[in-house]
């Protein structure tokens, strides 16, 4: 059986596609209502406007009446509005959805996913992942970074430390604090996204590893607070 494809039937372009397909036809496939009609009917949110989509509107009424006969208990007193689905119209729509859900036919009415649809789905997934990252907890860290000796160029030390760029890491204010014998340590603030940055790994793999260890002798966590 050929695959029948329609765009989003909640949109004008989707309804135009359905109208064009139904022109000169009474049903989606065959000479009577089939599971194809039930599936497409369930995907149409409201009755198409008879002036704009005469074929689709006539088909919609025909399917609705057939479903009313098939599901008399659920479709009792149904009225269908061209502007918006009324509360009374819900039973027929639910009946159509139940019929479609119980269909064991593997027919894909909406066809294979196009490249554009795949890209749109990937973009949505990336947006969701980005949102999750933004919602991750954050922490504020105060760190002491100590040089090897009093001859260490502290300006270059700070430049080396700030050169470390990791997603979820933001360097803050810093200051030099004397520790004795002419040696100064650098105290620096940083903010991290907890799910993206490990402070222990930051120290071990970046701050005390080559080439930064030319300036940095050790690092100590002074304070660690959740934001």
- Same-domain status, 99 and 170: no
CATH number, domain of 167, equals 3.30.70.60
Indicate if the pLDDT at residue 84 is higher than 50: no
> Is the pTM above the cut of 0.85?
no
In a domain, 118, yes or no: no
pLDDT-derived band at 102, boundaries 50, 70, 90: low
Same domain membership, residue 148 and residue 75: no
- The domain boundary residue, chosen from 112, 129, 164: 112
Domain span including residue 169: 138-226
**126-147: average pLDDT:** 80
With CA atoms as reference, report the closest residue to 168 among 214, 120, 202, 128: 202
Record the tokens describing residue 142, joined without a space: 């105060």
Identify the domain boundary among 67, 97, 112.
112
Q: Are residues 142 and 72 in the same domain?
A: no
| Structure confidence at residue 82 as a pLDDT band (50, 70, 90) | very low
Quick one: 16 exposed, middle or buried, by C-beta within 10 A (0-12, 13-18, 19+)?
Answer: middle
170 and 214 in a single domain? The answer is yes
Q: Are residues 31 and 65 in the same domain?
A: yes
Among 29-38, 46-55, 67-76, the range scoring the smallest mean pLDDT is 67-76
* Highest-confidence segment of 9-18, 52-61, 98-107: 52-61
Q: What is the per-residue pLDDT for 86?
A: 41
The domain total for the chain is 2
Residue 5 domain-assigned (yes or no): no
- pLDDT value at 78 more than 90: no
Report the pLDDT value the prediction gives residue 195, as an integer from 0 to 100: 94
Is 2 within the bounds of a domain? no
Say yes or no to pLDDT of 7 above 60.
yes
192-221 average pLDDT score: 95
Residue 57 lies in a domain: yes
**Both 150 and 185 in a single domain?**
yes
Residue 60 and residue 147 in one domain: no
Instruction: Assess if residue 212 is contained within a domain.
Output: yes
- Indicate whether 153 and 219 sit together in one domain: yes
Pairwise CA distance, residues 80 & 66, whole Å: 14
Q: Which residue reads 């160029």 in tokens?
A: 153
Q: Alpha-carbon distance 153 to 149, whole Å?
A: 9
Do 108 and 184 fall into the same domain? no
Higher pLDDT, 196 or 15: 196
Q: What pLDDT score was predicted for residue 67? A: 78
User: Mean of the per-residue pLDDT values for the chain?
Assistant: 79
Same domain, 19 and 103: yes
> In the prediction, which pLDDT does 90 show?
46
Q: How far apart are CA 72 and CA 82, in angstroms?
A: 22
Check whether residue 181 and residue 218 sit in a common domain.
yes
Residues 222, 146 within the same domain: yes
In a domain, 133, yes or no: no
Minimum mean pLDDT range among 6-10, 120-124, 149-153: 6-10
Most confident of 7-11, 13-17, 116-120, 215-219: 215-219
- Does some domain include residue 95? yes
Last residue of a domain, one of 112, 130, 146: 112
pLDDT of residue 80: 36
| Residue 155 placed within a domain | yes
Higher pLDDT, 7 or 75: 7
Does pLDDT of 3 surpass 80? no
Q: What is the dihedral of CA 113, 114, 115, 121, to 10 degrees?
A: -50
């Amino acid at each position: 059986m050929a695959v029948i494809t329609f765009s989003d039937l909640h949109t004008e372009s989707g309804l135009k596609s359905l109208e064009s397909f139904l022109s000169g036809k009474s049903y989606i496939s065959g000479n009577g209502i089939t599971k194809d009609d039930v599936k497409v009917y369930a995907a149409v949110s409201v009755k198409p406007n008879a002036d704009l989509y005469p074929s689709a509107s006539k088909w919609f009424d025909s399917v609705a009446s057939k479903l009313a006969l098939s599901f008399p208990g659920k479709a009792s007193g149904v009225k269908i509005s061209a502007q918006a689905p009324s509360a009374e119209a819900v039973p027929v729509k639910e009946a159509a959805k139940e019929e479609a859900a119980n269909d064991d036919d593997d027919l894909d009415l909406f066809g294979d996913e196009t490249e554009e649809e795949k890209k749109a789905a990937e973009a949505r997934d990336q947006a969701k992942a980005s949102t999750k990252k933004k919602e991750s907890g954050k922490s504020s860290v105060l760190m002491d970074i100590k040089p090897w000796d009093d001859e260490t160029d502290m300006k270059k030390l700070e430049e080396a430390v700030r050169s470390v760029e990791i997603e979820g890491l933001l360097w803050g204010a810093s200051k030099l604090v004397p520790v004795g014998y002419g040696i100064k340590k650098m105290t620096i603030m940083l903010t991290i996204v907890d799910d993206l940055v490990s402070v222990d790994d930051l120290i071990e793999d970046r701050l005390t590893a080559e080439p930064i260890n030319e300036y940095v002798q050790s690092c100590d966590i002074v304070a660690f607070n959740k934001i």
